[in-house]
Amino acid sequence: MSWALSLPTQSLKDSSARHVLLCLANYAGSNGAGAFPSASTLAQDTGLSERTVRYKLDDLEKSGLIQKGNQAIAAVHIDRHDRRPVVYDLQLSRGANPAPRTKRGADDATGCNSQQNGVQPGTERGAAAAPNTSINHQGTEQQQRQPIADVIAEQDQAAVDALDDRQRFSMFAAWEPNPKSLSDQLAIARLPAEAITEQLLETFLGFYVARPASVQSAAGWCFELVKWAKRDKTRNAGAAAQTDEFDDENTEWMKGVSK
């Protein structure tokens, strides 16, 4: 937020846009990245209408003060695709540098100042920027310093650990089937455990991760995985049968033909 406050007036004359930028900066990490409050949240913060907030965000993006960031950050926290706000990164290099602060303190360990009038010229006014709280931003400072792929992997694992067996959730890349649920579904489908190959699991995950609107319980996803394996087996059997039918060396079709 201190970066937004230090912007020269001539670089952002629109007071409403400046207000939106200030509030947006409150949700960003220390590097200015990963801010994704919803338009309704910014409307509550600024007192503007949601429509006005969206217009001002567009203006800020056109002016180069913000740009769309990694949208996967919002996907980690919000399952439903239609409810995910846009993730913005603040372009800190576009703003003015913060004013230098004079180190504040006493002359010695006693805590006293040698000046008779007790005035300390050039002292710092105001407190340093407060760290983001869990209310203002969902990520920690440590996560902001990590590569985004590592952050998502950690949060995916946390999501796995927190899931209840009956809870419905969207598919995510780190998902692993529950061994008992998978074993039960394989037994019902009369399929061997070898039917679930690593390649088949990767294809299954890739298909459903791209469809966040699909939600199932842990057992439900095992059912879908086994159903996927069964379809894959049927397709492979069909392809093999078709190959045999048109095999040039297959002479079965000649049987019964009169000489």
- Residue 235 counted as domain residue: yes
Residue 149: inside a domain, yes or no?
Answer: no
Q: What pLDDT, on the 0 to 100 scale, is given for residue 97?
A: 46
What is the tens place of the pLDDT at every residue in 152-202? Answer: 555 555 555 555 567 888 888 888 999 999 999 999 999 999 999 999 999
Structure tokens at 205: 């995950």
The domain spanning residue 224 has which CATH number? 1.10.8.1180
Query: CB-based burial of residue 169 (10 Å sphere; 0-12 exposed, 13-18 middle, 19+ buried)?
Result: buried
Residue 117 confidence (pLDDT): 52
What was the pLDDT predicted at 13?
A: 78
The pTM score is: 0.37
Q: Is the pLDDT of residue 5 over 70?
A: no
Q: Which of 106, 141, 176 is the last residue of a domain?
A: 141
Interval 209-233: pLDDT, tens: 888 888 888 889 999 999 999 998 8
Q: Does 185 map to a domain?
A: yes
Q: What is the DSSP letter of 111?
A: -
Sign of the four-CA dihedral 168, 171, 175, 177: positive
What is the C-alpha separation between 31 and 65, in angstroms, rounded? 14
- The reported pLDDT for the residue numbered 251 is 58
Please check whether residue 90 lies inside any domain of the structure.
Answer: yes
> Residue 76 sits in a domain of what CATH number?
1.10.10.10
Give me the domain span that covers residue 178.
Answer: 163-245
Is 259 inside any structural domain? no
pLDDT on residue 54: 92
Residues in the chain: 259
pLDDT tens, position by position, 243-253? 665 555 555 55
Question: For 80-96, how does the pLDDT look when each residue is reduced to its tens digit (9 = 90+)?
Answer: 777 888 989 888 765 44
What does the pLDDT read at residue 77?
79
In a domain, 52, yes or no: yes
For the chain, what is the mean pLDDT?
74
What is the pLDDT at residue 108? 45
Contact in structure between 61 and 86 (CB atoms under 8 Å): no
Select, from the ranges 57-61, 100-104, 238-242, the one with the highest average predicted confidence (pLDDT).
57-61
Look at residue 137 in the predicted model and tell me its pLDDT: 46
Q: Please count the other Cβ atoms lying within 10 Å of the Cβ belonging to residue 144.
A: 18
Q: Is residue 131 a part of any domain in this protein? A: no
Please report which confidence band the pLDDT of residue 150 belongs to, taking 50, 70 and 90 as the band edges.
Answer: low
**Which range scores top for mean pLDDT: 41-55, 62-76, 89-103, 128-142?**
41-55
pLDDT surpasses 50 at 99: no
Total count of domains within the chain: 2
Q: Residue 70 domain-assigned?
A: yes
